[in-house]
């Protein structure tokens, strides 16, 4: 795979899966802009690592739930790189609770970040992608958006919404040579998973037929495939990267 002369935005790129995706795309030759909200030092470290690979890196402090921030970041990336070809929407949060106890704030915050955030960045980049008749959009969702998960009505609704958004954008943008696909991770070894209740984590681990948690780099490899020309005739698809967790 070769992404030389391509430029990308990766949301939530300072930590975990997002950082792994950003560095993977950079290793294939792409210039990469990442957004972050709180982790300044980590974002700078990711940019430094990417620049050591001989590409341009950019870190932008931006709230993905802000329409204006997304537009501004897309403009900064285009200016810094001379264009934009790839969007990877990855930023997400969870704030769990059963439906009869969930607050309006819990619901709104998760939907704003996890679903509206994807719309914000798609809206920011797609006019340019359409004009140049080229683009790759990869949305990171979750297997729980396909099956539901007890205590996660806000999270699973947002992740299911991402899948529907992916399929709709694929229909709307395909005639302009823009591929839109999604990756659905299972249980991946990240800070979010580390913070899970141990009993819940063990229950999820037992679902994985390959017997281990996934690694952020394994999600990054799948994203890179969808960003490359190897996937040029694939659009509107959801690829589960879950060690068989969903089929268990």
Phi, psi of 87 (to 5 degrees): -125, 125
Q: Render pLDDT for 45-70 as a digit per residue (tens, 0 to 9).
A: 999 999 999 999 999 999 999 999 99
Contact 73, 62 (CB under 8 A): yes
Written as six digits, the tokens of 145 are 């958006």
Sequence ranges of the domains in the chain: 7-247
Q: Render pLDDT for 10-37 as a digit per residue (tens, 0 to 9).
A: 999 999 999 999 999 999 999 999 999 9
Return the percent helix, strand and coil in the chain, to nearest 5: 50, 15, 30
pTM above 0.85, yes or no: yes
Q: What's the topology of domain 7-247?
A: Rossmann fold (3.40.50)
Q: Render pLDDT for 176-221 as a digit per residue (tens, 0 to 9).
A: 999 999 999 999 998 777 777 788 778 888 999 999 999 999 999 9
The catalytic residue positions are 155
Question: What share of the chain has pLDDT > 90, as a percent?
Answer: 92
Round to whole Å and give the CA distance between 77 and 32: 8
Cα–Cα distance list, 50 to 122, 174, 204 (Å): 24, 31, 33
Contact 224, 26 (CB under 8 A): no
Q: Render pLDDT for 133-176 as a digit per residue (tens, 0 to 9).
A: 999 999 999 999 999 999 999 999 999 999 999 999 999 999 99
């Amino acid at each position: 795979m070769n992404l030389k002369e391509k430029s990308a935005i990766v949301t939530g790129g300072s930590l975990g899966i997002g950082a792994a995706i950003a560095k993977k795309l950079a290793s294939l030759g792409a210039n990469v802009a990442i957004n972050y909200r709180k982790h300044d030092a980590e974002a700078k470290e990711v940019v430094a690592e990417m620049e050591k690979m001989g590409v341009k890196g950019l870190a932008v402090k931006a709230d993905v739930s802000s329409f204006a921030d997304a537009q501004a970041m897309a403009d900064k990336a285009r200016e810094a790189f001379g264009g934009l070809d790839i969007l990877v929407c990855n930023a997400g949060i969870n704030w769990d609770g059963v439906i009869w106890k969930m607050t309006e704030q819990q619901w709104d915050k998760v939907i704003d970040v996890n679903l509206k955030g994807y719309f914000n960045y798609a809206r920011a980049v797609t006019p340019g992608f359409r004009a140049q008749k080229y683009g790759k959009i990869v949305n990171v969702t979750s297997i729980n958006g396909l099956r539901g998960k007890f205590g996660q009505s806000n999270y699973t609704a947002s992740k299911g919404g991402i899948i529907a958004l992916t399929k709709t954008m694929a229909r709307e943008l395909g005639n302009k040579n823009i591929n839109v696909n999604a990756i659905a991770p299972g249980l991946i070894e990240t800070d979010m998973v580390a913070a899970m209740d141990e009993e819940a984590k063990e229950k999820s681990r037992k679902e994985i037929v390959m017997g281990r948690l996934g690694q952020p780099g394994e999600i990054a490899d799948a994203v890179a495939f969808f960003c490359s020309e190897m996937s040029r005739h694939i659009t509107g698809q959801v690829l589960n990267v879950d060690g068989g967790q969903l089929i268990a």
